[in-house]
Amino acid sequence: MAKSLDQIPFDFSEVSDSKTTQQESAGISARQQILTAASGSEEKSKPVIRTTGIIKDQKPVSTRGRRSLKEFGLEADLIAVPEDAILFQKQYYSIGEVAGWFRVNQSLLRYWESEFDILQPRKNRKGDRFFRPVDVKNLQLIYDLLRRRKFTIEGAKDYLKNTKKSEEKFAMIQSMEKIKAFLNELKAGLSS
C-alpha cells in the first residue's frame, strides 16, 4: 500500500500575544517570529534566521556596482596621510603604501596619474611606481577635489590649471580643519 503524504499543520497559538508585541517592539520581523515559533525555540535566546530571501523592511546589501557620492563623502575625511614632518623623512613611498593611506585601489592612483599632469611618480626598471612626498601632497589635493568637494575629473583639471595658488588654499583649508577639530574636542571636554 502506498502511504499518503499528509501535511503537517503548524499551531501558531503557542506564540503568546505579549511575546509577539515584545518582539515587534524590539524590531523583529514577522518572518523571524514565525521561524522562531516553528522551531519551538522558546528556551533558546536567539531566533532562527534564514539567510535566503529578503526580510521585510530591509534593503539587501550589495557589494557590487558603484558607490554613491554620499558614501565617498563620508569616507573623504578618513584618509591617514602622515604629518609633513613624518612624510618628508623618506624620499619615496610605494604605490601600495600610498593607496593604503587614501583607502583606494592602486588602479585608481594609476588612473589619476594618467589624468593629472602634476602627478609624476618615479618608476623603476620593473615599472613599479614610487611616490615622492610632493606627489603625495598633490594626491591629497586631487583626492580633496574629487571626493570631498565632488569635482569631476575635467572640473578638477580646470581648477588646478586656472587656480594659481590652489595648493596654498588647500593647505589653509587643512589647517582650518585642524583648528576646528581642536575646538570641537575642547568644547566636548568643557561640556562633560
From CA 142, how far away is CA 144, in angstroms rounded? 5
Q: Which three cell numbers stand for residue 66?
A: 558603484
pLDDT at residue 44, as a whole number:
45
Domain range 69-174, its CATH number among 1.10.10.10, 3.40.50.1370, 1.10.1660.10, 1.10.460.10: 1.10.1660.10
3-state secondary structure of 92: coil
Give CATH 1.10.1660.10 domain extents, the chain: 69-174
Helix axes 133-143, 95-102, angle to 10 degrees: 30
From CA 164, how far away is CA 172, in angstroms rounded? 14
Q: From start to end of the chain, where are the E strands?
A: 93-94, 122-123, 129-131
Give the Cα-Cα-Cα angle 102, 63, 105 (nearest 5 degrees): 25
pLDDT tens per residue across span 80-114? 788 888 888 999 999 999 999 988 899 999 999 99
pLDDT tens per residue across span 150-177? 899 999 999 888 876 766 777 777 788 8
